[in-house]
Amino acid sequence: MKKILYSITLFIVLSGFCFAEVQNVKVSGELRNRGLYSTNVIDLSDNSKPDDDIGYFAQRARINVEADLTDNVLTVIELEASGIVGDKGVAQNANSVAAAQLAGLDSSARSVRNADGTTDIQGSVHMDENTTAQGRRQKDGYDVKVSQAYVQASELFYTPLTGKIGRQYMNFGKGFLISDNEHEINFDAIRSTLDFYPIIVDAVYARLAERSSQAIQAVDADDMSMYVVNAHYAADRWNAEAYVIGLVDVDTHYQPVTVGLRGDVMPMEALQLWVEGDYQGNQYTPNRDLEAWAANVGATYTFDFKWHPALSVIYTVASGEENPTATTGDYEGFQELFEYNYYGYAFSPRLENIQFINAKVSVLPMDNVTLGFDYYHYWQLEQAIQSMGDPFQDNGGVAALTTGNDESLGDEFDLMAAYDYTEDVSTQLYLAWFLPGSAYTPDDTAFEIRGEILVSF
C-alpha cells in the first residue's frame, strides 16, 4: 500500500514540473577555512604515549546554482568539496585504531609508528553508506559531491501545496532532532508542504540507505527509510509544533518511532521561552523494544542597554540504557537523529544517557563584533560504561569511556569571538576547556581551539 501512495505522490508532484522555462539563474557559494587544535580529547590523559594532540586545517568549498523557472518551479544544484588540507588518508598523532575509526576511518585502518615517535593511523577516509541514524553524519573525504540537487514546485495545481524532490537540507522547529545547522546533513527525499497559514503541514519520505545490489530483489528488502509528518502553528508571539518521525530498516528490524511536541512563546519583546519533548518507541532489535525520551527547555532574555547583552539558560536531557549489552528487555537509550548542534565544543556529547545545563551570555561591543561565553554541567542518567562523545560531530568529542561508577561527567567552559569583516567575510574563534568529573579516570583537562574564516558570495 505504501508503494502505491508513494507512486501517486511522485506522479502528482512531477506533474507540476512540466513545461517550465528558465526565467532567472542565480549563482552563489561559500569558502570556509578552519584550523583546529585539541589535546586530551581522545583519552583525557596528559600521560598517554603517544599523546593525542590533534591539529589540522580543514576546508569546505561550495558552489550553488539556482534556476527560477516559470509556473513557480525552482531547481537547485549545489556541489561541495571538503576535507583535511593535505589529507592523504592518514590521521596524524592519533593513539589507537579505535580512535581513527571514531574519527571516520574504516575498519581497515592500521597503526604505523613513525621515526619521530608519533603514530599515524592509515586507512581509507571514505565512509560506508549511511546505515544508521548516527551514520548519517559520516563524511565522504576530500571528494567533490552533490550536497543539494532538487526541484521544487509551489502552488501545485493552484493549491497551497509545494512539492520538493531530490537531495535537500531540512530543519524542523529549533533543530533539536532534524536540523540544517552548518548544512552538514542532507537527505534524498520527497517533501510535500501544505501551507494553510497559520497552519503548515509537512510530509516527508527520505531514503537513508540504498543497499540493493542485485537486479532482482524485493523492494525495500534491506534499505533504510525515514518518514516525517510535521504540523506547525504560528501566531504573533507563540507557535507550536507536533511531529512523528519514523525510521525503518527492514534488514535489522531497527524501527524507532519518535513522537514530539514543541512550543515557544515571547511574553515580551526581550524574552523567549521554549520547551520540546519527545518519546521514542517501537522496535530496537528483533528481540528488544524501544522505550526512550528526551527534552529541551530554555529561556533567553536580551537586555535593552549598551552592548545588548543576552542571557540564556537551557536544560537538555536524553534517556539512557543501564545495560547496553543486554539482548532482551526494553532498550531505554534515546536514539539521536539528524541534528548538528553544539553542546560544548570540546566534550561534544551525543544525546543519549545524558542531561546538562547550559548557561550562556553574549554581548555586541560593536555592530560587527560578538563575544560569547558558555558554561555546561553534564551528568549521566544511568551509570554506564560508554563513550559519550559524538564521533560525527566536528572534531569527534571526548572518546574516553566512563567508569560506570559515577554520574558526574564534568564541566565545560567555552569562549567565542566573532568578527564580520564585511557583509561577505566573517571570522570566528572558539576556545573550549572540558574538566572531567568523577565518571572519568584519568581525568585531565581537555582543550580545543578552533578558528574559522567564511567567505560567502
Is residue 352 over pLDDT 70? yes
Query: Quick one: what percent of the chain has pLDDT higher than 70?
Result: 81
Residue at 154 is within a domain: yes
Q: What is the pTM of this model?
A: 0.83
Residue at 67 is within a domain: yes
CATH code for position 447: 2.40.160.100
> How many angstroms separate the CA atoms of 379 and 440, rounded?
11
What domain count does the chain have? Answer: 1
> How many angstroms separate the CA atoms of 277 and 143, rounded?
38
For the four alpha carbons of 194, 195, 198 and 204, in that order, the dihedral sign comes to positive
Residue at 119 is within a domain: no
Cis peptide bond prior to 198, omega within 30° of 0: yes
Tens-digit pLDDT profile for residues 108-128: 222 233 333 333 333 223 333
Average pLDDT (24-38) is 96
Residue at 50 is within a domain: yes
Single-letter amino acid, residue 57: F
Cell 581509507 sits on residue: 124
Residue at 80 is within a domain: yes
Confidence of residue 388 (pLDDT cuts 50, 70, 90): very high
The parent domain of residue 82 ranges over 2-87+125-456
pLDDT at 395: 80
Highest mean pLDDT, choosing among 51-55, 109-113, 266-270: 266-270
Residue at 106 is within a domain: no
Classify 429 as helix, strand or coil.
strand
Is residue 141 over pLDDT 70? no
pLDDT at 406: 96
Average pLDDT (269-273) is 97
pLDDT at 46: 87
Average pLDDT (207-230) is 74
Is residue 282 over pLDDT 90? yes
Radius of gyration over alpha carbons of the chain, in Å?
23
Residue at 113 is within a domain: no
335-338's contacts with Cβ under 8 Å and 24+ in sequence apart are: 335/133, 335/247, 335/256, 335/258, 335/280, 335/290, 335/292, 336/133, 336/134, 336/390, 337/133, 337/177, 337/178, 337/245, 337/247, 337/258, 338/133, 338/136, 338/137, 338/177, 338/178, 338/179, 338/185, 338/187
DSSP letter at 400 equals P
Exposure string over 205-237, b if 16+ CB within 10 A, otherwise e: bbebbeeeeeeeeeebebbbbbebebebeeeee
Residue at 101 is within a domain: no
> How many angstroms separate the CA atoms of 423 and 368, rounded?
9
Exposure string over 153-192, b if 16+ CB within 10 A, otherwise e: bbebeeeebbbbbbbbbbebbbebbbbbeebbbbbbbbbb
> How many angstroms separate the CA atoms of 337 and 177, rounded?
5
Worst-scoring range by mean pLDDT, 79-93, 169-183, 191-205? 79-93
Tens-digit pLDDT profile for residues 86-105: 876 544 333 333 333 333 33
pLDDT at 394: 81
> How many angstroms separate the CA atoms of 205 and 203, rounded?
7
Is residue 384 over pLDDT 80? yes
pLDDT at 89: 52
Cell of 321: 540504557
Tell me the CB-side half-sphere exposure of residue 13, using CA atoms within 13 A.
25
Exposure string over 39-62, b if 16+ CB within 10 A, otherwise e: bbbbbbbeebebbbbbebebebbb
Is residue 19 over pLDDT 90? no
